[in-house]
Chains A and B, each alone.
Chain A
Amino acid sequence: EAGVAQSPRYKIIEKRQSVAFWCNPISGHATLYWYQQILGQGPKLLIQFQNNGVVDDSQLPKDRFSAERLKGVDSTLKIQPAKLEDSAVYLCASSSADRGTGELFFGEGSRLTVL
């Protein structure tokens, strides 16, 4: 079974530029998450989708961050304009609709450096 795919793995931009990250979750997983992981910290939830609807975006800085999951599969996270403090690893995760253990499956992350 293919895992969660993310791209690009690395991105370096200057402040005030824009960037987009892409995520393809595990096939059949209804729930998709974007987390921000700043160096030395644990992952912080930015947004959670259930199919193509937003379940929780309370921690998303909506003045500069946006995310969509139009067809309930792939998702894109955009930052515009970027700030220095946005330098972090952006992790995408997915889980199945079956409550079960609620296990999250993570991608390898997209590392963003803002200069």
Chain B
Amino acid sequence: GEDVEQSLFLSVREGDSSVINCTYTDSSSTYLYWYKQEPGAGLQLLTYIFSNMDMKQDQRLTVLLNKKDKHLSLRIADTQTGDSAIYFCAESITDSWGKFQFGAGTQVVVTP
């Protein structure tokens, strides 16, 4: 099974906020990432957070990191139809630099 766990599906109305949650396993992970995958496309980095940070904000995106609980979340403010995609949480494995562990992805569907 996946070492990085995510909920599989989220439905949100246009204009509302979306919150996608993730739990990870490697407490020594250096970076944690959120990737976005649109249909028929590869993964694209949305944002990342360094493990010594609690929060990072980037325009409509807010990442919260709770190291004690190994919990990562991504909040998308004012969700738009173009935000409909699959969102993957990933951790970089510190003892194997450059090795990433991905979750199964959360499919976000934005309805008008």
Contacts and interface: CB of A to CB of B under 8 A. Distances in A.
B59 interface: no
Contact of B100 (A41, A45, A55, A108): A45
Interface string A92-113: 0101000101111111110000
| Interface size band for B | 20 to 34
Contacts of B33: 103
B102 A43 contact: yes
A102 B31 contact: yes
A33 B97 CA distance: 13
Contacts of B48: 101, 103
Q: Is the interface of B mostly helix, strand, loop or mixed?
A: loop
Interface in A18-64: 31, 33, 40-45, 48, 50, 55-56
B29 to A, nearest CB: 11
A56 B96 contact: yes
B102 to A, nearest CB: 4
| Interface size band for A | 20 to 34
B102 A107 contact: no
Interface of B: 2, 4, 30-31, 33, 40-45, 48, 88, 90, 92, 96-100, 102-105
Interface of A: 4, 31, 33, 40-45, 48, 50, 55-56, 91, 93, 95, 99, 101-109
